[in-house]
Structure 1
Amino acid sequence: MTSIEESSPAIPTAQPIIFVTGTDTDVGKTFISTLLAHKWRANYWKPLQTGIESDDGDSVTVKTAKCDASWMPEIFQPRYEMIKPLSPYKAMDYEPSIDIQLTDFEIPKGSEKAPLIVEGAGGAFVPITKDLKTMTDLMKHLAITNTHRPFKIIVVARSGLGTLNHTLLTINYLENEGLSEHILGIVVNGEKNQGNVEVLRDYGLEILAEVETTSSPASALNFIPPLNGLL
């Protein structure tokens, strides 16, 4: 498929939007999003939050993380917060008044002053609407409606067994959906596994960072490269 192209060149000073997705649920998207927000002096937005019956949500996790006292990300309110810890598509079964549409989502006003980390729910193929639009459709919607800001995608992947299949399928799907030019790279999260990282690089994938999840948020910042030079 043809890549989504920006209709006009990005303004050089425009702050980027970084969409963080994952190869699976619980791969560490929120942990990595927290690191990115602090390292890159960025703000944070989780458009869709499910599972608030069992925890306070990822926005609270990012806000309260003991990471870098010199930067406090501005947290923008989710467009939807849903009770059940399910995909947004299935969570709507328990809240009939909610009918998610892609057009419900727009980048928060006031987010232009700094980079914006946007954390998805689950992986790239998670259904989010009743007509089975996916998280990738949301990425495309946000990219198309924000052509004045660079829009990039980071994929968070596990380091261990199974990550090759999950990561390569995720990247292949994003590319087939026309998002090749928006993929910034992969953050590998977990116990160091040089073999898997080498194979991913053999496939031509950009490994932005290898983060060891046993590290505290403050020390894990050292694994994240500066944003300058990546865009």
Structure 2
Amino acid sequence: MTSAEPVIFVTGTDTDVGKTFVSSLLALKWQANYWKPIQTGLESDQGDSLTVSDFYSKHHSFKWHPAIFKPAVELRKPLCPLDAVKCDPTASEINLKDFVLPDISDTCKVIAPLIVEDAGGVFVPLNSKCEITTDLIKKIIELTGRPVYVVVVAKRGLGTLNHTLLTHDHLKSNGLGEHVLGCILNGPKNTLNKETLELFDVNVIAEIPIYEETSHLESFLDCIPPLSDIINES
């Protein structure tokens, strides 16, 4: 991998804000590969890596098909990683020192940006050391010489202002402000929320409408600007 190909860490303001769908779109638009380092909830869900794989199977007409790397940690309970480990007698506590970025040489895919999807949000507890998702982002920055950026996925509707502004403030106060590319709003259009977020210096990268099976995926991809344009503007 070259330093020219960035790592894009996708986090969310809450559960079910559409991180996996947005990550799938970003990988397609930006011709990136995909990795979910920590997966929980496998007793009730197939896991986000398979969801992303299914997404590309349904849209096989597109030329780009990402490498989808296996999670470093897989847990059964649909809980934060700290609690999911507690509920699984076969699981070991998560140690960020054990994490390594996936190696593209293990696949036949070309060198590309890497989309990294988190397990909930920036303050999700990972282990009993009180390490959280923010610490995982910092660990990824340590592991690679590649540029690392953060994209926050948020709902467009009621409640998003508080959640989104708190997430951005947390990232900045933890020394990650220069890594934040901005926010992607997912859901029914809400012009006022977008304007208010921008008033507080949140860069709204894109607004993604509700996706349905009959939707034309090209129109969703058109909502997302080229990665190079966003990086150059940040």
Calculate the TM-score normalised by the size of structure 1: 0.91
Q: Provide the residue aligned with 2:224 in structure 1.
A: 224
Structure 1 CA distance for aligned equivalents of residues 161 and 216 of structure 2: 26
User: Could you say which residue in structure 1 is the equivalent of 2:11?
Assistant: 21
Evaluate the alpha carbon distance shift between residue 133 and residue 217 of structure 1 in structure 2; reply closer, same or farther with a 3 A threshold.
farther
Shift of residue 73 of structure 1? 0.9
Q: 1:170 to 1:222 in 2, by over 3 A?
A: same
Q: Is the 8 A contact 2:36 2:69 kept in 1?
A: yes
Please state how far the C-alpha of 1:217 moved relative to its aligned partner: 7.0
RMSD: 1.5
Aligned mate of 2:53, from 52, 59, 63:
63
Q: C-alpha displacement at 1:45, in angstroms? A: 0.1
Gaps of 5+ in 2: none
Equivalent residue number for residue 78 of structure 1: 71
Q: Is the 8 A contact 2:82 2:93 kept in 1?
A: no
Which of 97, 106, 110 in structure 1 is aligned with 2:104?
A: 110
Percent identity of paired positions between Structure 1 and Structure 2: 52
**SS across alignment from 1:122:** coil
1:222: how far off? 1.8
Helix, strand or coil: the match of 1:113?
A: coil
Structure 1 distance, partners of 2:151, 2:11, is 6
Counterpart of 2:24, as a letter, is: T
Shift of 1:64: 1.2
For structure 1, which segment, 196-205 or 88-97, has the greater mean C-alpha deviation from structure 2 after superposition? 88-97
State whether residues 42 and 73 of structure 1, in contact with CA within 8 Å, keep that contact through their aligned partners in structure 2.
Answer: yes
* Distance of 1:100 and 1:151 partners within structure 2: 22
Q: How many residues align?
A: 219
**Following the alignment from structure 2 to structure 1, what is the Cα–Cα distance between the partners of residues 78 and 176?**
28
CA contact (8 A) 1:35 1:217 kept: no
* CA distance in structure 2 between the partners assigned to 1:178 and 1:43 by the alignment: 26
- Helix, strand or coil for the counterpart of 1:21? strand
Task: Give SS of 2:120's match.
Answer: strand
Task: Name 1:50's counterpart in structure 2.
Answer: 40
In 2, distance between residues paired with 1:144 and 1:176?
Answer: 18
User: Within 1, Cα distance between the matches of 2:152 and 2:93?
Assistant: 27
Match of 1:172 in 2: 169
- What is the CA distance between 1:144 and its match in structure 2? 2.0
Aligned 8 A contact 2:186 2:209 in 1:
yes
Contact 1:16 1:151 in 2 (8 A): yes
C-alpha separation between the residues in 1 aligned to 2:5 and 2:216? 24
Are residue 206 (structure 1) and residue 203 (structure 2) matched?
yes
The superposition leaves residues 198-220 of structure 1 with CA deviations (integer Å, 9 ceiling, x where unpaired) of 00011111110000123537242
Q: Secondary structure at the match of 2:102?
A: coil
Matched AA of 1:220:
F
Distance in 1, Cα, partners of 2:207 & 2:82: 32
Question: Structure 1: 5+ residue runs without aligned partners?
Answer: 1-10
The residue matched to 2:198 in structure 1 has which SS?
helix
Letter in 2 for 1:81: E
In structure 2, what is the Cα distance between the partners aligned to 1:98 and 1:28? 29
Look up the match of 2:160. 163
Aligned match of 1:144 in 131, 142, 145?
Answer: 142
Between the aligned partners of 2:47 and 2:76, the Cα distance in structure 1 is 10
